[in-house]
Amino acid sequence: MSVYKKITNIAAESRFMESMKNKELIEEVANKLNWTAQDTAEMLSAFNSILGSKLIDNDSIYLSGFGQFEIKKKTERISVNPANGKRYLVPPKLVPVFKPGTTIKTKLKELSDNE
Amino acid sequence: MSVYKKITNIAAESRFMESMKNKELIEEVANKLNWTAQDTAEMLSAFNSILGSKLIDNDSIYLSGFGQFEIKKKTERISVNPANGKRYLVPPKLVPVFKPGTTIKTKLKELSDNE
């Protein structure tokens, strides 16, 4: 099998996994709220697009009981190419950062302690 | 003003900011979907709690058009206390990681390039 074929397979598989995950989430929310999957899917897609546009407007987002999103600026830095050892400049970059809320942090701590 | 008073003020202020942010988000979603704020608030709180419980069940979450959440295990590591230079062991830790989707990554890249 050609490398190209392998890559396209992996990409197709990950898109499939993503859509399965998304379907699962829609079903769970629909069950919890007693809605149709169709209404829930429409709501989620509107919600996701609002989250995206607020983030891109550099507006922090707070989902109570879950966590907070912010945009942080990663400054310019010098890195080394491991292949040839040459140093190069990595330009500044805007990255979204997720800070979990206290509820999630506490539960994850309990999980780590019990491992 | 005592240190204690200062801390409680800061905590109160940040809770106020969080609730303002949350209210803002509810209003935006309500407008976009043409819903009442009440219905939207109920939906968001159900949605946030599902996100939280899925994450804690170590289930990755995919919000199409926005991004993906996963739990990663930070391994045990040795750190140094800057105050006294003493080395100490940081226990392993479970942390939620957010990976932005392609749409957000591309838009943030455009923003960084135009800065």
Chain A residues touching B19 at Cβ < 8 A: 64
Q: Do B25 and A61 touch (CB under 8 A)?
A: yes
Per-residue pLDDT of chain B (115 residues; tens, 9 = 90+): 777 777 777 777 777 677 677 788 888 888 888 889 988 888 888 888 888 888 888 888 888 888 888 888 888 889 999 899 999 998 888 888 899 888 888 888 888 887 6
Residue B7: predicted pLDDT: 74
Touching check for B11 and chain A: CB below 8 Å? no
Residue A70 near chain B (CB below 8 Å): no
Interface residue A50 vs chain B (CB under 8 A): yes
Distance, in Å, from the CA atom of A105 to the CA atom of B95, rounded to the nearest integer, reads 8
Option in A43, A64, A96 nearest B48 (CB): A64
* Alpha-carbon gap, residue B73 to A4, rounded angstroms: 32
CATH number of the domain to which B71 belongs: 4.10.520.10
Of B95, B21, B64, B8, the C-alpha closest to A99 is: B95
Q: Are β-strands A67-74 and A77-80 bridged in parallel, bridged antiparallel, or unpaired? A: unpaired
Q: Which residues of A touch B104 (CB under 8 A)?
A: 52, 55-56, 96
Task: State which residues of chain A have pLDDT below 70.
Answer: 16, 19, 115
Sheet (strand A93-100) strand order: A61-63, A67-74, A93-100
Q: Which domain holds residue B32?
A: 1-58
Same domain, B112 and B94: yes
The dihedral formed by the CA atoms of A7, B108, B24 and B71, expressed in degrees to the nearest 10:
40
**How many domains does chain B divide into?**
2
> Tell me, what's the pLDDT at B115?
67
Same domain, B11 and B46: yes
Which of B58, B78, B101 terminates a domain? The answer is B58
Same domain, A105 and A52: no
A73 three-state secondary structure: strand
**Burial A29-56, CB ≥16 within 10 A → b, else e:** bbeebebeeeebbebbbebbebbbebbb
Question: Is B2 in the same domain as B28?
Answer: yes
Whether A20 and A54 share a structural domain: yes
* Residue A32, pLDDT score: 85
Asked if A100 and A89 sit in the same domain, the reply is: yes
Is A63 touching B (CB cutoff 8 A)?
A: yes
SS3 state at B71:
strand
Distance separating alpha carbons of residues A34 and B115, to the nearest angstrom: 46
Q: Tell me which residue has tokens 């539960």.
A: A107
Predicted pLDDT of residue A115: 67
Give the DSSP letter string of A25-54.
Answer: HHHHHHHHHT--HHHHHHHHHHHHHHHHHH
Within chain B, strands assigned E span 61-63, 67-74, 77-80, 87-90, 93-100
ipTM entry? 0.70
Is B80 near chain A, with CB under 8 Å? no
Q: What Rg value do the Cα atoms of chain A yield, rounded?
A: 20
